[in-house]
């Protein structure tokens, strides 16, 4: 099933709880949280304290995209704050295998992110370790940029590799996903769709999320509304994860 991950980067941070809940009513099933450090990317956003606050206002999984150096240092704090999925950049992690292990050891779902200039084939050795691969379809750092078309080839290559290697990781796409691009992204094989500006850009998150999800489901050949009785995605803390804080 395709899923929409509204990215709060474009939300009104002064009304974050309302914004997240509106996106959830519109059908978002993950909340994408962009963490930027001003070093790996030329922007600064938020960290574990905001994740901890978000944890109190939504049961949806918090999909934390770390655009930071020294990710290992911060992984315990994200786990304590209530992060569920954590993705780290191939380009920012010298010891990527260790970092992915660390994320999993903290009870979170590990994922790797690729910048637009990074080849998919570099991931072959660690693909068996990841819950999903995040393909950046813009250069990371800012919302509201234009989709880079070559990202579609990278999604297709990840679909091929998944079959060749007998794996089941999911494929997430982030950057410039909007009404004009979402169908192509889904047709190429992505099933986790991050959208920031297209959801939160005009203050109408519920309506925007609903429309985007409908377009994605149509492109995927899925029913436009989930079958009656479909359970809402809930959040359960994986066993063994620290719950303090």
The closest of 64, 60, 10 to 32, measured between CA atoms, is 64
Q: What is the nearest approach in angstroms of ligand DX5 to the Cβ of residue 23?
A: 12
Q: Which of 37, 63, 84, 174 is catalytic?
A: 174
Binding mask 159-198 for Zn ion (x = CB under 5 A): ---------------x------------------------
Q: Which long-range contacts (CB under 8 A, 24 or more apart) does 88-92 make?
A: 88/112, 88/113, 89/40, 89/113, 89/114, 89/115, 89/140, 90/114, 90/115, 90/118, 90/122, 90/123, 91/40, 91/115, 91/118, 92/40, 92/66, 92/67, 92/68
Return the closest-CA partner of residue 139 out of 118, 124, 111: 118
Among 29, 87, 99, 197, binds ligand DX5 (CB under 6 A): 197
Active-site residue flag, 18: no
Active-site residue flag, 37: no
CB of 65 to ligand DX5, least distance (A): 5
Query: Would you list the DSSP string of 57-106?
Result: H--S-EEEEEE-S-HHHHHHHHHHHT--EEEEEGGG-TTHHHHHHHHHHT
Q: Does 184 bind ligand DX5 (CB under 6 A)?
A: no
Q: Which does 177 bind (CB under 5 to 8 A by kind): Zn ion, ligand DX5, none?
A: ligand DX5
In the list 76, 107, 116, 144, the residue contacting ligand DX5 (rule: CB under 6 A) is 144
Q: Identify which of residues 9 and 102 has a Cβ nearer to ligand DX5 in the complex.
A: 9
Site string for ligand DX5, 7-26 (x = CB under 6 A): x-xx----------------
For residue 227, give Cα distances in angstroms to 12, 179, 206: 32, 24, 20
Instruction: Tell me how far apart the alpha carbons of residues 84 and 64 are, in angstroms, rounded to a whole number.
Output: 8
- Of positions 19, 34, 37, 172, contacts Zn ion by CB under 5 A: 34
Q: Name the residues annotated as catalytic.
A: 34, 174
Q: Give the interface with Zn ion as residue ranges (CB under 5 A).
A: 34, 65, 174
Binding site for ligand DX5 (CB under 6 A): 7, 9-10, 32, 34, 65, 138, 140-141, 143-145, 174-177, 194-198
């Amino acid at each position: 099933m395709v899923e929409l991950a509204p990215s709060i980067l474009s939300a009104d941070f002064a009304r974050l709880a309302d914004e997240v809940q509106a996106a959830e009513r519109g059908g978002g099933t993950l909340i994408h949280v962009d963490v930027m450090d001003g070093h790996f990317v030329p922007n600064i956003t938020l960290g574990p304290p905001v994740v901890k606050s978000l944890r109190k206002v939504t049961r949806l999984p918090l999909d934390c995209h770390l655009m930071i150096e020294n990710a290992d240092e911060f992984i315990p704090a994200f786990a304590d704050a209530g992060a569920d999925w954590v993705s780290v950049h191939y380009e920012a992690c010298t010891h990527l295998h260790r970092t992915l292990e660390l994320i999993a050891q903290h009870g979170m779902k590990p994922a790797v992110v690729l910048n637009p200039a990074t080849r998919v084939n570099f991931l072959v050795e660690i693909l068996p370790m990841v819950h999903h691969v995040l393909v950046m379809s813009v250069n990371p750092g800012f919302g509201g940029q234009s989709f880079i078309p070559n990202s579609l080839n990278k999604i297709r290559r990840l679909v091929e590799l998944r079959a060749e290697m007998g794996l089941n990781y999911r494929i997430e796409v982030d950057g410039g996903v909007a009404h004009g691009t979402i169908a192509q992204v889904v047709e190429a094989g992505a099933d986790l769709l991050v959208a920031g500006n297209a959801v939160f850009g005009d203050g109408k998150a519920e309506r925007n999320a609903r429309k985007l999800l409908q377009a994605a489901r149509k492109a995927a050949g899925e029913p436009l509304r989930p079958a009656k009785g479909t359970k809402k995605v809930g959040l359960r803390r994986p066993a063994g994860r620290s719950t303090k804080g």
